[in-house]
């Protein structure tokens, strides 16, 4: 089972997913995202996703190609994002210190140059 929650704030939309991002659920999510007229910034929160199959991976890759950024706050979702080369949204206000530390291990921070 998959639960999807849409939150719109200003010029951004957050799509929070919870459960198994698999087969028909993933295809339904693709259709929802493709049909909606979303703002310029879309962020998908994968922190509560417990499993992603091949179809789900294809959908996440498609979302990444259309400019979606991702939030991943646990080991599994971080692994999915890293393996599929998904861009993580950088929003320090949303992250706990331990999450920020884990993210910096995956995405090196820019140093002033």
CATH at residue 79: 3.30.750.24
The pLDDT assigned to 104 comes to 35
Give the tens place of pLDDT for each residue, 44-72: 999 999 999 999 999 999 999 999 999 99
Eight-state DSSP code of residue 11: T
State how far the Cα of 61 lies from the Cα of 72, in Å rounded to an integer.
Answer: 15
The pLDDT assigned to 12 comes to 85
State how far the Cα of 21 lies from the Cα of 98, in Å rounded to an integer.
Answer: 25
Residue 113 covered by a domain: no
Please state the domain count of the chain.
1
List beta partners, residue 51: 20
With a cut of 50, list the residues of the chain below it in pLDDT.
Answer: 92-113
Q: How far is it between the farthest Cα atoms of the chain?
A: 47
Residue 54 covered by a domain: yes
Residues 71 and 47 sit within 8 Å (Cβ to Cβ): yes
Cα 112 to the center of its chain, rounded Å = 27
Residue 111 covered by a domain: no
């Amino acid at each position: 089972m998959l639960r999807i929650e849409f939150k719109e704030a200003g010029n951004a939309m957050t799509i929070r997913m919870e459960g198994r991002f698999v087969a028909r659920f993933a295809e339904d999510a693709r259709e929802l995202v493709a049909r909606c007229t979303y703002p310029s910034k879309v962020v998908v929160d994968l922190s509560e996703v417990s499993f992603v199959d091949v179809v789900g991976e294809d959908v996440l890759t498609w979302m990444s190609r259309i400019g979606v950024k991702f939030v991943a706050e646990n080991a599994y979702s971080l692994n999915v994002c890293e393996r599929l080369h998904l861009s993580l949204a950088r929003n320090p206000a949303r992250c706990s210190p331990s999450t920020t530390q884990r993210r910096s291990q995956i995405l090196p921070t820019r140093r002033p140059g």
